[in-house]
Each structure stands twice: as structure tokens, then as C-alpha cells.
Amino acid sequence: MTPVDDHRPYREEDDLVAAEYVLGVLPADERAAVAGRIEAEPAFAQLVEAWEAKLSPMADGFEEVAPPGAVREALQQRLFGQAARQQPGALARMWQSVSVWRAATAAAAAALLVLAAVTLMEAPAPDADERFVASLSGEGSEVHYFVVYDARTQDIGLSHVTGARPEGRDFELWVIDDGQPHSLGVIPEGSSVHVAVGEALQAAIDDDAVFAITTEPPGGSPSGAPTGPVVAQGALNPI
């Protein structure tokens, strides 16, 4: 049973959409549409809340960093324009309104992406492209995983969305670099698990790499190369 089984009815694909929304991997127009559904559809809003609770532990390994003081002002300016300067009292009431927060979700996400991009451009080069996210799925397959890779800690966090592994088989994770598959190991069972990356494979994981999942005999491929079908795959995107 998933955390949202008690909140039906909803379309099966809504489960994946809710997870992608929480992870922030949807395009801006799709994210805006989903934000509207959260406001209008209580069942779907509960689905999103369930995914927030499920995926939030994946952020535990990241240290909290206070944003520069100019970030809040820039965000206010982008969301509310001149209202940020002309109506401070009204603006304070707007910040306290739950409905305004929900309506502003898409715009806030876009603003934060812009500010994050500026921050990354201003940061030293070694700090860039240290975290990546991927949505792994396959045509005709029910297997869906979300992946967060932290290059600093060489840790891969995997969130199991849907799709059971076949009886007597394991899921094995691969990174495809220059067309060559390299095993990252068998994926442990569980809704939120972690896989460590060995030093030899760290250089293979970048924003040009692709993650793939195959089904293999218990314990993984005996040959070191994929032997089973690919049930999910997806490209890495820098956060």
C-alpha cells in the first residue's frame, strides 16, 4: 500500500505528476497547471502532500544555507512588482495568506530557479554541478524511480515511485557513459534508499550521463554487463 491509497479517486498518472511536482522537475508551464490543480482539487492536493512527506527525508543530508539578504527582495519584486515597494502593509498580509502562497507557487519556483542560476554563476567553479536529479521510467513499464545524486558525498538517493520487481529478480542500477553501461549496484528494496558511488565511477556521472535500471538475477548481473531488460531510464539534470 502506498501513502496515498486512502485518497482515491485520481488518475494513476497523477501519482507520478505529484512526485515530479514535489521534486521540481516539471517544466514551468506544467508546474503552473499542477499548482492550479492543488488549489482546486483536494484529493490531488493530498497526493502532493503525501509525496512531500515521502521525499523530504532525501534532503536530510544537505546542510541548510541561509540565502543572501537580496534574495527575498528580488523574489518579492518578481512576484508582486511595485506592490513590494508601494504597499508594505498589504504585502505583509499577502505573505500570511495560504491561498496567495499556493497561487504563487509556480512564479516563486521560476524566480528561485533564476536566483539559483545567478548564484551558481557567481560561485567558484568547483561548486557547480554537484547535485543532479533524474526521473527514471520506461515505455510500457510500470517501474518509476526518482534519483538525486550528490557528487560531493558520492551518494545516490533513490525514491521508488511505482513498479514491483519481478519475483526472484533484483533491480540493478547502471550509469551509461559514452554508450557504455557501468554497474552502480543492486538497488536495495525500500521506498527511499541510497547507493554509494565508488571512486572509479565518479567521473562517469555528469550531466551527459544516463541512469538505467535492469532486472537481474538475485545479487546482480553475474557478468558485470546488463543481462535483463531495461525497465526504466532517464538523463541526469543538474540542480
pLDDT in tens, 166-180: 999 999 999 998 888
Q: Cell numbers of 62, please?
A: 544537505
Residue 56 has pLDDT above 80, yes or no: no
Residue 55 has pLDDT above 80, yes or no: no
pLDDT classification of 206: cutoffs 50, 70, 90 = confident
pLDDT classification of 114: cutoffs 50, 70, 90 = very low
The answer to whether the CB of 131 falls within 8 A of the CB of 150 is yes
Neighbour-count burial for 103-112, b at 16+ CB within 10 Å, e otherwise: bbbbbebebb
pTM attached to this predicted model: 0.54
pLDDT recorded at residue 175? 93
pLDDT recorded at residue 186? 96
Mean pLDDT of 148-152: 87
